[in-house]
Structure 1
Amino acid sequence: MKKLVLAATLSVAASTAFAGSMAEPVMEPAVIVEEAASSSNAGIIVPLVLLAVVAAVAAN
Structure 2
Amino acid sequence: MRLLLASLAVLAGLSAPAVAGGMAEPVMEPETVAEDTAGSGRDGWVIPLLLLVLIITAATADDVPIE
Superposition TM-score tier, normalisation by shorter sequence: 0.3 to 0.5
Structure having the higher helix fraction is: 1
Larger radius of gyration: 2
Scaled by the length of structure 2, what TM-score is found? 0.42
